[in-house]
Chain A
Amino acid sequence: MYKYDSYDQAMVDARVEEFRDQVRRRLEGHITEDQFKPLRLMNGLYLQLHAYMLRVAVPYGTLNSAQMRMLGDIADKYDRGYGHFTTRQNIQYNWIKLEDAPDILADLAKVEMHAIQTSGNCIRNTTSDQYAGAVADEVVDPRPYAELIRQWSTFHPEFSFLPRKFKMAVIASDTDRAAMKLHDIGIQIVRDAAGELGAAFYVGGGMGRTPMIAPCINPFVPIDRMITYAEACLRVYNRHGRRDNKYKARIKILVHELGKDEYTRQVEAEFAHLLTQQIEPPLAELERIKAQFAEPPFEVGIADTVDRSDPDFALWVDNNCLPHKQAGYIAATISLKPVGGIPGDASADQIRLMADLARDYSFDELRVTHAQNIVLPHVKKADLYALWQQLEAAGLGTANLDLVGDIIACPGLDYCSLANARSIPVAQKIGQRLAVKQQEIGELKLKISGCINACGHHHAGHIGILGVDKKGTENYQLLLGGCEGADTSLGQITGPGFDEDGIVDAVEKATQFYLSQREEGERFLDTYRRIGMPAFKEAIYG
């Protein structure tokens, strides 16, 4: 894992003092709320429905146990005993006092964490593959490249007042587990025929009110030019992205309006110019970072089997664990989606327990996934049963990864001031209704957003749900056929919306229809793609 040096530490320490000063100036009336708002947002502090909300960055979703424990302690000390893991691999707290916020940042800085640029019109936390460093299908561990981007994007002097927020993701395998093509910039680290590393740039993807899949604008930027190329992409956007309408200000609109070819031409011209400016960190810096992501000291020659005699445990293993590149190990996902629970929420005690389990069973490492779960990436198979028993006892043993109960949901109108409808109650009702059938249904990614901003990724759900405000009451639109990953597709709206109970019924009908139509080995998405919207529509509305 990346370890701060004195430079990194000084940076976050200075940020704490800067924010302390900004809060003081706001509380003393030297700056207005309009002037303070962008400052607090760049420290991840929102004013939400019930209080201030603080979003803490978890760079590329990776945490050590001391960091995770601090997240639990913050939940107790400054919030109301819980936190919410988000679709951008971060964590947010819902009940923060403005006057406490600088102290929270100071506590975070003690464990090499921060809330820098977790909101605002700047480059946000860079996300990555939650199984990085653990799976066999990656070209390299993508996280050192994400860390390089983290440092480059932190307090970037030119790109702190962009037309709109800017989200990047970095992966390094063909199996895209980070929804890379649905980001402002998605980077896939690849190897060319000569074995050289490079970065494929996908620019202009995103969800929100105008969902778009990012086109590849350059399939191979040499790795020692990746930062310069990113700078060129951002400069073209900063100069020419629309600022007249916030709903058209994301880079996807610029790429769409200019056309991929013209945008690429401008980027390449800017890139050629920037190469003369020597802004690229040297490869020695990449090597320095890479050394900190060295493999943990795996044991070799250990048992590569799991005792499956406990059927509940076997079910959890089958659902929640992924093969590891190292014989004798496995990557285990802790579901934060208990039946009837709040997707992504974890209590302070649960957070601290997960920290302890990472220390005891996973070389001190955890990952936050964009599906709002937690991964212990390197668990010895021989330890798996003991691990599961502790998870089970703490309400963290739900066996439903990628099943219909593993719902992504934004906080919705229960917490969020932008929301039009509540997301969580819908997730709870669907989870309860389909709990007994989810194993039979198999992989089904269901995603719920409480407004068109799409924090709940509804466009990318095999089943997506979008909450809207219909004359003052909550209404829910149903989408089918969305998918993230290598074969990214955007969901299509089925037809008229539903009330809260109606949307639960509609989802159940869609799953029943799928079960009646599926052919051998087909997932819900496969069946939908084969037979199409009209048949599903008939089943749902007919």
Chain B
Amino acid sequence: MKILTGNDLKSGAVTWWDGVQWSLHVEDAVDVGDHADTILAREQAARRVNAAYAIEAVKDADGVRPAHIKDRIRALGPTVRPDLTLKPADPGAGDWVI
């Protein structure tokens, strides 16, 4: 599947396109099919997202998993500071990245 990600213009937080708005959680990301460019142009022009781009991902039982490690680290947070990730209480969260 093809999903969209970027950063919130004001806060810089990593966000994912959920079909309506930008979510902090990659599991909310939806397949945008052929509409990536249209959505990106509209959302960036409206300053609802910054530096956004389309990536490949797969959906499985665990949710949406970006194809590249860089985007998985963006989705979770720094692997060396589990306390600062989106899942500080999940000791296995780092394994999902690798």
Contact = CB atoms under 8 A, between A and B. Distances in A.
A and B touch in the complex (CB under 8 A): yes
A99 interface: yes
**How big is the A interface, by class?**
20 to 34
Given A80-B84, A98-B11, A50 B79 contact: no
20 contacts: A33-B44, A47-B50, A47-B51, A49-B73, A50-B12, A50-B77, A51-B7, A51-B13, A52-B12, A342-B80, A413-B69, A413-B70, A414-B78, A414-B81, A417-B70, A419-B70, A424-B80, A425-B79, A472-B67, A472-B69
A88 to B, nearest CB: 21
Interface string A412-454: 0111010100101100100000000000000000000000000
Contact of B12 (A80, A98, A474): A98
A428 B80 contact: yes
Contact of A96 (B12, B44, B67, B84): B12
A204 to B, nearest CB: 32
Which of B10, B67, B74, B78 gathers the greatest number of chain A CB atoms within 10 Å? B78
Nearest to B94: A425
A35 interface: no
B68 interface: yes
A51 B73 contact: no
Contacts of B77: 50
Given A97-B10, A415-B78, A33 B51 contact: yes
B47 interface: yes
B96 to A, nearest CB: 15
Contacts of B13: 50-51
Contacts of A428: 80
3 closest Cβ pairs, A-B complex = A51-B12, A414-B78, A52-B12
Contacts of B84: 80, 95
B14 interface: yes
Nearest to A45: B12
Contacts of A51: 7, 11-14
Chain A contact residues, majority secondary structure: mixed
A27 interface: yes
A47 B78 contact: no
A50 B74 contact: yes
B9 interface: yes
B9 A27 contact: yes
A341 to B, nearest CB: 10
Given A29-B47, A473-B69, A98 B10 contact: yes
A206 B81 CA distance: 31
Contacts of A342: 80-81
B80 A47 contact: no
Contacts of A52: 12
Given A33-B50, A414-B80, A425-B80, A47 B12 contact: yes
Interface in B25-56: 44, 47, 50-51
Nearest to B71: A49
A365 B84 CA distance: 32
Contact of B73 (A26, A47, A99, A413): A413
Nearest to A412: B80
A29 B46 CA distance: 8
B77 to A, nearest CB: 6
Contacts of A422: 73, 79-80
A29 B10 CA distance: 12
Contacts of B73: 49, 413-414, 422
A192 B37 CA distance: 64
Interface in A253-301: none
Contacts of B10: 27, 97-99
A50 B14 contact: yes
Contact of A474 (B69, B74, B78): B69
A425 B50 CA distance: 29
Contacts of B47: 27, 29
